[in-house]
Amino acid sequence: MRSFGFRILAIIFCGFCIVGCAPAEKNKAATTLTVWHWMTDRGPAFNELAKKYEAKTGIKVNFELYAPSDAYSQKVRAAAQGANLPDIFGILGEKRDFASFIKANYVLELTPYMLEDKAKWKNSFFAKALAVNEFNEGNSYGIKPGIYGAPIDIMTIQMVYNKSLFKQLGLNSNQPPQTFQDFLDIGKKIKAANMQGLVSGWGEIWMIDCLANNYAFNIMGKDKVIATIKGQVPYTDPDWVRVLSLFKEMQDSGLLASGIVTMVNKTAEQLFANEKAVFAFNGSWCVNVYKGMNPNLEYGAFLPPRASNKYPMAIWGGAGSSFMVNCRSKNKEEAVKFLRWLTEAPQQVYLAEATNNLPANKESSNLVPDVTASFAKAMDNATHPNVWGVSEFSPVIEAFDKGIQSIIIGEKTPEQVAQEVQKVKEREMAKKRV
């Protein structure tokens, strides 16, 4: 009996082995493209577009959402190590990370596709949106010049103000501050009225970096900023000290909301949407966020008030999110075709309407609502570290941004922070030379 049972088990085992080892049934269904993304707000719209694409071409597209963005970023890196990247994916991080993905042969160069048909695809984008995915001749990363990603939407980061609170302060609700002095004067009124001024996610330090860079461009111009990154101008330069001093002046005038140094952007968005703060420094994605939190919010967008007339004010902007094609994917040609379709005007308009993000396709940009349009207009002033061709060392960025936090809490002076940042810079430069 025991032997009979054993035989039965052995037969079942062999059966499973044979079935398991059999070649997989040939996939008669059409190609399936897999896209990884982190954009929770765009998930339903992407799925809708995937259905449309399948109906049109028979190719199934699976949008797989991995959020939050930090987790997504780690997943992409881990997948790259295991050579498990999907057909299409986005890269979050600095330009040097993007360059590493290209060097490791994970990203397909899109230049030949972009230039097909008299560069029709390339010309459909805002040049500044495409620039984020471009590597120019002589770039410091050693990447072959070309385009390596397709922007899905664009973004700009600037100031927004609450029109109702402006009226309460006795200010013209259609006239946001133009100069830094105007800004500080409003700060004094905010303090006197016991209101909260500027809110922003300065606990997540990159947003401090963003505003500081805006003012660096305004005070010393792009060339000097780039020269600083290259190590030719020290951070102790008076212009950099002036940039750092602006944060002290903002704090002293009462312009900054209390607790801003540990505030995450989600909290800042809640405060502004609930009319608890007069100003916010936020990206164009906020239009969708504020609409969801308070549809009746009356607000306007404006460039950060200029601190100098010497150079134009620059803001961070460009491609909000981009998709890259996996160079090792067997479906890469299909993936490129899908990206081309996704960035055509009808799909871009649909995405803009469904998610309130600014379309990367310039042909569809005139179809967006007012506030969103004011963010789009600011593209003229947009710049981004990813288009500068050089990247600052991460420890320097951290020292700079944490230093600004220290200035705001009154722990250090702008001069002290400038010296500390320069020390970190020199240390990193020395390491590079070694």
- Residue closer to other proteins by CB (options 179, 262) is 262
Distance CA 387, CA 129 (A): 10
Decide if residue 275 touches other proteins (CB under 8 A).
Answer: no
Decide if residue 402 touches other proteins (CB under 8 A).
Answer: yes
The only residue of 8, 58, 70, 112 in contact with other proteins, by rule CB under 8 A: 70
Give min distance, CB of 98 to other proteins, in A.
9
> Parallel, antiparallel, or unpaired for β 279-283 and 150-162?
antiparallel
Decide if residue 162 touches other proteins (CB under 8 A).
Answer: no
Distance separating the N- and C-terminal Cα atoms of the chain: 76
The only residue of 12, 16, 394, 415 in contact with other proteins, by rule CB under 8 A: 394
Decide if residue 409 touches other proteins (CB under 8 A).
Answer: yes
The only residue of 54, 182, 204, 363 in contact with other proteins, by rule CB under 8 A: 204
- Residue closer to other proteins by CB (options 123, 267) is 267
The only residue of 395, 413, 416, 426 in contact with other proteins, by rule CB under 8 A: 395
Distance CA 187, CA 420 (A): 29
Give min distance, CB of 412 to other proteins, in A.
8
What would the two tokens of residue 192 be? 């006197």
Of 88-96, 221-229, 304-312, 327-335, the segment contacting other proteins by CB under 8 A is: 88-96
Give min distance, CB of 414 to other proteins, in A.
14
Angstrom distances, CA of residue 129 to CA of 232, 284, 344: 29, 14, 15
- Residue closer to other proteins by CB (options 214, 405) is 405
What does the DSSP 8-state code read for residue 409?
Answer: T
152 exposure class (CB count in 10 Å sphere: 0-12, 13-18, 19+) = buried
Angle at 15 between CA 12 and CA 19, to 5 degrees: 140
What would the two tokens of residue 295 be? 């549809």
- Which candidate, 324, 369, 283, places its Cα nearest to that of 98? 324
Q: Can you tell me whether residue 98 is helix, strand or coil? A: helix
Please compute Rg for the chain using Cα positions: 25
Give min distance, CB of 213 to other proteins, in A.
17
Decide if residue 271 touches other proteins (CB under 8 A).
Answer: yes
Per rule CB under 8 A, count of chain residues that contact other proteins: 41
Distance CA 164, CA 171 (A): 10
Q: Give the footprint of other proteins on this chain (CB under 8 A).
A: 70, 73-74, 77, 80-81, 93-94, 96-97, 100-101, 103-104, 106, 196, 203-205, 257-264, 267, 271, 276, 394-395, 398, 402-403, 405-406, 408-409, 411, 431
